[in-house]
Amino acid sequence: MTQNLDLTDIQGNIVKAYGSFGFFKARYLFLRVDNGDKGRDFVAKIASKVTSAERWNKDSAPSVTTNMAFTYSGLQALELPTASLVGFPADFVMGMSKRKAILGDDGPSDPEHWDKIWQETVHIWISINGKTVEDIEGRYQWIMQQIDASGGVALLKGHRGEDAFGNPSDDLPYQEASILYEENGSPSSKEHFGYTDGIGDPVFEGQTNNEKRVIGRGKLTREGGWVPLATGEFILGHVDEAMEYPQTAPRPDLLSNNGTYMVYRKLHENVGTFNKFLDEQSKVFPGGKELLAAKFSGRWRDNGAPLVHTPDEASKAEWDKKYAAADVSTQKRMLTDFTYNEDIEGAKCPLSAHTRRINPRGSLEYGVKDAFNTPGALVNRRRILRRGLPYGKVKDQASDDGNHGIIFMALNADIKRQFEFVQQQWINYANDFKQGNDKEVLLGNHDAEQPGKVVFEVEPGSGKPPHFVNNIPRLVETRGGDYFFVPSITALKMIAGGIIDPT
Amino acid sequence: MGFMDTLNIFLKPNSSGNATALTVLCPIINRVVDGRSSADIVRERCLRLPIHEKSPLAKVPNTYLARIFILDNVFYESLPGSDSIFNFSEITSIFSDKSRIGALPQKDQLKSKYLVFSSNFHGDLDAYLRGMWDKWSYDDNGQQRDVRYIWENCVAFGGVTDSSSFISYMKRCQLNSALFFNGSTDDSLQEQLKALYLKQEFSKFAAAHQGESAADLQQAFKVFIEQVQPSNLSGPSWEPGQSKP
């Protein structure tokens, strides 16, 4: 870990997943800039409260965080110089809805069905993360005062959800998000399908001094160890895995350095359809319902145990016993320390399982010795930092209705090469996994007319037939989102001051 | 790559087993009529070609993959370094722009635009070109077109009147494909389409009948075989040009 990052200049949400620091609640605000001068003044006000990536100890951690990012039209509205604007990549300039063909946002995920707010132009994203709703409310009220005082920016309404009285609305002024809680009220890291989420986010150089955190989360070395990914995969102005500066940085350097791109996606989870599908399919799957659910994801639902180490009930019971007895650090390691190289055929963890598709961990060499320079040659440039939280509550486990899902946020230096590639090639297509055009089970844009299928392979020579999962319905639907530029704190101040100078 | 493969590049430059590669570059007549060049007319006709099952190439027997386009000019690679192995001006170009430009490769121009047709197919060249002459047809907004409609603006194509003159015309315009890589097997198109069809149908069969008893499975498989008729190449199968199940 030789990289020294200027953590006071980098926005905190890039380096930290706030949820793992006890910030269980979040509120996402979207604004429109109507006047360049007043808009920049407003940015200056918010910038004064923007949370950096500075390391926290018990005493220095705040109770609420604030972060800020802009769409391309937002940067236009804030009157960035044209010579800077032309330096942004086409994916970001186009925005998420225009990339729908690449992302597979069709049918019920088509932008025409997105929340009302996405039917208009969004300029600014502001996030508030807090330990309690009261913490968030305090910061929210402060931001509302700044909006009122500005006279040049407007808070955009139009989120679907439930108002303070629990009534359904399609015109809410912000997107609320929160971790889910166990029945006994203790916090959980589950999402609405019951999976444990947010394990195994990538680790990059300069992010942590704790070598243990790199295991299973950095990049795999030829010797079987793990080292952090290059900083430039996630933060502009730093060298990336190709030993180059990211090509997506606009001029001048002070605008792009220590910034990155963020994908914001509101994903509705069809809980009723999922439960029905899981019940139906487990009738014909020999391993039982929970193993089937694990095969969809690559991890067991209850504690996130990786399937590669727990391919059946017996090995899972053994693993659980060890896990329960282990200290926190060992537990974390048990969750992330594995590759698929001991399971190239996908007999343990299917090649269409969610975790294997979004991060194949060096298994794309398919067991061919030294196929590439490094085992992760086809993976290390396709990693994304995942942020975000669940939203809404499931009232009826048998129904898709209501508003509940995940606010998914991905951070990467190159949206096209990283997020969009994973979505297009690994989630909605499977050539790299030798699975034809089988889509990933959970996130794939399965077609109601021609429902998808996936295959669970078996150990070669076992004499058992592979298992087919048929008629996969659309389990997750896109309900909105866009692409954002997350500037450094220096760049935020320069945007606010109108002093970005690309000459 | 083994020795015989390497040798075959030189001995049989356009073949890979029973698969053949064809590349033809036909010069387009330098002519402007009513403000339109012949190349413009050819391009417009190419852009109107129907695709998939309706493509004329779906009717030309044994076409694996083909493309047609207009080559407007050659691309100039303005890389440093001249055509000669060592040139003193490469050194002096550090000091003078005249030397630098002098050290660049010469710029070539085509004397006319070319209609480029390239195809990978099963079988031998004469039979394939005869198939192009006989079977190439498509509906162009109600007009039935044959192969002459695309080629008639090419130099000396006026002398083509029948399949044998078409074959010799195309051969005269042919370039060798020395490094031909065939992306599929070298079986006939009918065999390949049948194989694709069988693969698709069999995976549907496997999915639909998993978990059944051996006896039921055997019974279902008999019905399946009767339906798909594995040895009958003419059907049921995929259509040439078909892109979706």
pLDDT in tens, A182-204: 999 999 999 999 999 888 899 99
pLDDT for A402-442, tens place per residue? 999 999 999 999 999 999 999 999 999 999 999 999 999 99
Contacts of A223 (CB under 8 A, 6+ apart): none
pLDDT of residue B95: 77
Question: Would you say how long chain B is, in residues?
Answer: 245
B243 in contact with A, Cβ within 8 Å: no
pLDDT at residue B22 above 60?
yes
Residue in chain B lying closest to A466 (CA): B210
Same domain? B198 vs B171: no
Chain A positions in Cβ-Cβ contact with residue B211 (cut-off 8 Å)? 284
Answer whether residue A399 shows pLDDT above 80. yes
- pLDDT tens digit sequence for B132-156: 999 999 999 999 999 999 999 999 9
In a domain? residue B85: no
B165 with B195, same domain: the answer is: no
Report the candidate in B76, B107, B109, B78 with the shortest Cα–Cα distance to residue B93. Answer: B78
pLDDT at position B180: 83
A465–chain B Cβ distance below 8 A for any pair? yes
Q: How far is B209 from chain A (nearest CA, A)?
A: 10
d(CA B177, CA B181): 9
**CA–CA dist B200, B212 (Å, integer):** 20
Whether B33 and B118 share a structural domain: yes
**Do B120 and B217 fall within a single domain?**
no
CA angle at A329 for the pair A325 and A335, rounded to the nearest 5°: 80
Q: Min CA distance, B207 vs chain A (Å)?
A: 5
Same domain assignment for residues B163 and B200: no
The residue extents of the domains of chain A are 12-266+482-497
> Residue with structure tokens 């939280």?
A389
Does B45 map to a domain? yes
Question: Does residue A293 have a pLDDT over 50?
Answer: yes
Place of tokens 């963020």: A262
Could you tell me if the ipTM is greater than 0.90? no
Domain end point (choices B118, B150, B175): B175
| Helix, strand, or coil (residue B150) | helix
Q: In the prediction, which pLDDT does B79 show? A: 65
User: What is the C-alpha to C-alpha distance for residues A233 and A418, in angstroms, rounded to an integer?
Assistant: 9
How many helices and strands in chain B, by DSSP H and E? 10, 9
pLDDT at A1 (0 to 100): 44
Residues facing residue A467 across a β-bridge: A456
Asked if residue B95 belongs to a domain, the reply is: no
Please, where are the H alpha helices in chain B? 3-11, 38-47, 56-59, 88-92, 97-102, 125-135, 148-151, 163-172, 189-208, 214-228
Is B89 within a domain? Answer: no
Over residues A352-371, the pLDDT tens digits come to: 999 999 999 989 999 898 99
Asked if A329 is an interface residue toward chain B (Cβ–Cβ < 8 A), one would say no
Q: Which pLDDT band, with edges at 50, 70 and 90, does A173 fall under?
A: very high
Residue B139 β-bridge partners: B144
Q: Are residues B154 and B41 in the same domain?
A: yes
A234 burial via Cβ count (<10 Å: 0-12, 13-18, 19+): buried
Our measurement of the distance from residue A292's CA atom to the centroid of its chain's CA atoms, rounded to an integer in Å, reads 24
Looking at B138, B154, B175, which one is the last position of a domain? Answer: B175
On whether both B139 and B211 belong to a single domain, the answer is: no
* B124/B130 Cα distance (integer angstroms): 10
DSSP A464: P
For residue A471, the chain B residues in CB contact (below 8 A) are none
Do both B196 and B114 map to the same domain?
Answer: no
Number of residues that this document lists for chain A: 503
Residue to mutate among B210, B221, B243, B244, with most A CBs inside 10 A, is B210
pLDDT over 50 at B21, yes or no: yes
How many structural domains are present in chain B? 2
Same domain, B152 and B204: no
pLDDT at position A6 over 50? yes
Distance CA A268, CA A391 (A): 9
Other beta carbons less than 10 A from residue B238's beta carbon = 21
The 3-state DSSP composition of chain A as helix, strand, coil percent (nearest 5) reads 30, 20, 50
What's the confidence (pLDDT) of residue B76?
85
Helix, strand, coil percentages (3-state) for chain B, rounded to 5, are 40, 20, 40
Summary mean pLDDT of chain A: 95
Judging contacts by C-beta atoms under 8 Å, the chain A residues touching residue B203 are 453
Domain edge (last residue) among B133, B154, B175:
B175
Distance CA A167, CA A162 (A): 5
Tell me the percentage of chain A whose pLDDT exceeds 70.
100
Mean pLDDT of the region A104-120: 97
Q: Tokens at residue B158, please?
A: 């006026």
Range(s) of the domain holding residue B232: 187-245
Span B15-22, average pLDDT: 93
Q: Residue A283's pLDDT is what?
A: 93
Q: Does B171 lie in the same domain as B139?
A: yes
Are B59 and B132 within one domain?
yes
Q: What is the pLDDT of residues B101-132, one digit of tens each?
A: 777 778 889 999 999 999 999 999 999 999 99
* B237 and B132 housed in the same domain: no
- Report the pLDDT value the prediction gives residue B121, as an integer from 0 to 100: 97
Residue A382 pLDDT grade (very low, low, confident, very high; cuts 50, 70, 90): very high
- What pLDDT, in 10s, does the model give residues A473-502? 999 999 999 999 999 999 999 999 999 999
Residue of A nearest to B200 (CA): A436
Q: What is the pLDDT of residues A48-100, one digit of tens each?
A: 999 999 999 878 889 999 999 999 999 999 999 999 999 999 999 999 999 99
Q: How far is CA A304 from CA A301, A319, A359, in A?
A: 6, 11, 15
User: Which of B165, B143, B147 is closest to B156 using CA atoms?
Assistant: B165
